[in-house]
């Protein structure tokens, strides 16, 4: 197995989950940066457990991607200073929650239609990237040829 450096949160989490499920991780190749894991695998140095985002990118580069069963899930949280949030921070938090809820709905809908996690995530990520580009074009002071009428804000699940 190819993995990033020891004593990093991602590696510690993956190793702990493997051991929790009765698997003793045998690391054959240790790379100094997470970004080197996929190229190492693609060059023939073994297999790796990576995040869904990295798996999607690896798939696009020709890697065979298999889902882990049971799926690994990692909880993350938001940290901010004590006291009242600034207007900008509150807007960021609100937009992030809305985007995440939209992503989850779109992902779940695709999964329930029979798509794999990689297929569902790939479609949702493509939709999200398109929406971000559309938003940029709407707000850009630079005219973009062929844009026509102004675009409206849509969530991924519309």
Per the listing, tokens 């580069």 go with 61
DSSP 151: P
> How much is the pLDDT for 73?
83
What does the pLDDT look like over 26-85, one tens digit per residue? Answer: 999 999 888 899 999 999 988 999 988 899 889 889 999 998 887 888 888 888 889 999
What does the pLDDT look like over 3-16, one tens digit per residue? Answer: 988 898 889 999 99
Report which secondary-structure segment, H or E, holds 30: strand 29-30
3-state secondary structure of 2: strand
Helix-strand-coil percent breakdown of the chain, rounded to 5?
50, 5, 45
pTM: 0.68
Do the beta carbons of residue 156 and residue 128 sit within 8 Å? yes
Where are the chain's structural domains? 2-60, 78-158
> How much is the pLDDT for 146?
59
Give the model's confidence band at 151: pLDDT under 50 very low, under 70 low, under 90 confident, else very high. Answer: very low
């Amino acid at each position: 197995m190819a993995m990033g450096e020891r004593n990093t949160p991602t590696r510690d989490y993956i190793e702990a989950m493997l051991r929790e499920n009765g698997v003793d991780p045998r690391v054959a190749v240790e790379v100094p940066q997470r970004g080197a894991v996929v190229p190492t695998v693609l060059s023939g140095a073994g297999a790796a457990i990576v995040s869904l985002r990295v798996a999607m990118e690896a798939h696009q580069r020709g890697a065979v991607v298999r889902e882990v069963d049971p799926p690994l899930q990692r909880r993350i949280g938001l940290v901010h200073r004590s006291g009242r949030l600034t207007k900008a921070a509150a807007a960021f938090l609100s937009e992030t929650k809305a985007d995440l809820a939209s992503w989850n709905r779109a992902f779940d809908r695709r999964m329930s239609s029979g798509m794999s996690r990689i297929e569902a995530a790939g479609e949702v990520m493509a939709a999200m990237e398109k929406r971000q580009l559309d938003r940029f074009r709407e707000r850009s002071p630079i005219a973009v040829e062929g844009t026509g009428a102004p675009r409206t804000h849509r969530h991924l699940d519309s």
